[in-house]
Structure 1
Amino acid sequence: MSESETPTLDQFPQRLDLSRVLSRDRFRLSKGWQAIQERLKAGQPVDKDQSKWLEHWQRSQQRFEQREQHRPQTIVYPDLPISDKRDEIAELIRDNQVVVLAGETGSGKTTQLPKICLELGRGVSGMIGHTQPRRVAAHTVSQRIAEELQSPLGELVGYQVRFSDQTSEQSLVKVMTDGILLAEIQNDRFLSRYDTLIIDEAHERSLNIDFLLGFLKQLLPKRPDLKVIITSATIDLERFSQHFDDAPIIEVSGRTYPVDVWYRP
């Protein structure tokens, strides 16, 4: 249906399917549909409510389709250790709500995980939120992912740190500090702007990360469509897994480089 067409009441769905609308609209659309069904059963007029609901539903579907069209179809993976387990990681993300990924420095987990999620169709109904402990890391990681996707920073891939927001309505991936995501909970306790969250470097166990993990534990049953990926160095893996009801763990080896040690005279 094009934007110029007005939805008609006979298009009102008898069974609700919100798989192709934005995640931020799903709760409101679901509650509105249920209210209309109750009024219909009670024999009350619903034409005006149906018309408003259909307009909202149509706009959300159109926005979903626009984001889907902009999702990168071909993603080139650099020669990084994580590439060897790409299929296994993708399968775990597809089949589980929470995945714990252990990756050593140089494994490529930070830059490649959002791209694996994009290949799975994530980032369309809502953004892929990717947290970093520090502002400099959030900026540099977003730049790197944008370069690999051959997209200007702020379009398909954006970032947000304190006093700076380089995201847009087209952004499928948003890299941010964990403090930014924590602050968003105050205005959106369902984190409805996101369909996937990657909590990177969780082993640092800052207060922000601990608060986020505790909050997500309570949120996940209310957001069955939300995927969460916890990345960590090879420590505390079992504790992260147990916190999320024995979530599956996958380990990725790192890449080592020769190191020369020099001593001052």
Structure 2
Amino acid sequence: MPNELQQLWESLPQAMASDRGRLRGALQGVQRLQRDGKPFDRSLQRVQADLERSVQQRAERLQRLPEISYDDTLPVVQRKDEIATAIRDHQVVVVCGETGSGKSTQLPKICLELGRGIDGIIGHTQPRRLAARSVATRVAEELKTPLGQGVGFKIRFTDVTTPNTYIKVM
């Protein structure tokens, strides 16, 4: 049984980000039951089933990932590798550029290419409602995915997303 528990701990990073905290707590609960000599078989089976479901959901999201292409004429794309390295290596990155340089449409795609949005959703904020809808529409077109599927938006009480959404513009 301890080997089985260890395997569950090792597969935790492959779960959806939104499930990891709950699953970590459940695994700790199973360990506590085991340590105290109490029956833990049903708890272990429940955690194992939840973890497998979460890992499977993440694997399916990875397989459905849309093909990412870029417009090489945009200034943000010309510095894509530099920006991607900064995003990968730092928790906060500030990107400045002229209007129309591709910040709003290309940065979420760079994040997606880095593997963000697989475990959860890339949150993309826009200052105006109209901008949020148009940016979501544009990114969805560029990723060749229906609006609300790979890319969605939320404006006030209107939420055009699904559990399969990678990028959510708000």
Give TM-score, length-normalised by structure 1: 0.60
- Please list, as runs of the form range in 1=range in 2, the aligned pairs for 1:1-265 lying within 5 A after superposition: 11-14=4-7, 16-17=9-10, 18-176=12-170
Contact persistence 1:9–1:50 (CA under 8 A): no
**8 Å contact kept, 2:66–2:145:** no
Q: Which deviates more from structure 2 when the two are superposed, residues 35-44 or residues 111-120?
A: 35-44
Q: CA RMSD in A?
A: 1.8
Q: Do 2:152 and 2:169's aligned partners in 1 also have CA atoms closer than 8 Å?
A: yes
What is the deviation of 1:73? 3.8
Deviation at 1:12, TM superposition (A): 3.4
Q: What runs of 5+ residues in structure 2 fail to find an aligned partner?
A: none
Question: Secondary structure of the residue that 2:95 maps to in structure 1?
Answer: strand
TM-score by length of 2: 0.92
Which 5+ residue runs of structure 1 have no aligned equivalent? 1-7, 177-265
Asked if 2 retains the 8 angstrom alpha-carbon contact of 1:73 and 1:119, the reply is no
Q: Is the 8 A contact 1:129 1:175 kept in 2?
A: yes
- Percent identity over the alignment is 47
> Would the aligned equivalents of 1:67 and 1:170 in 2 still touch at CA under 8 Å?
yes
Per-residue displacement from partner, 1:211-245 (whole Å, max 9, x unpaired)?
Answer: xxxxxxxxxxxxxxxxxxxxxxxxxxxxxxxxxxx
Compare relative contact order (CA 8 Å, sep 6+) and give the higher one, 1 or 2: 1
Retained in 2: the 8 A contact 1:9–1:47?
Answer: no
Say whether the 8 Å CA contact 1:77–1:83 is kept in structure 2.
yes
Q: Quote the Cα distance in structure 2 between the aligned partners of 1:15 and 1:42.
A: 20
Question: Which amino acid is the alignment partner of residue 46 of structure 1?
Answer: F
Question: Cα deviation per residue 1:131-179 (whole Å; 9 max; x = unaligned)?
Answer: 1111000000000000100111111001110232111111101101xxx
Contact 1:9 1:51 in 2 (8 A): no
The structure where strand makes up a greater share of residues is: 1
Q: CA deviation at 1:74?
A: 3.7
Larger radius of gyration: 1
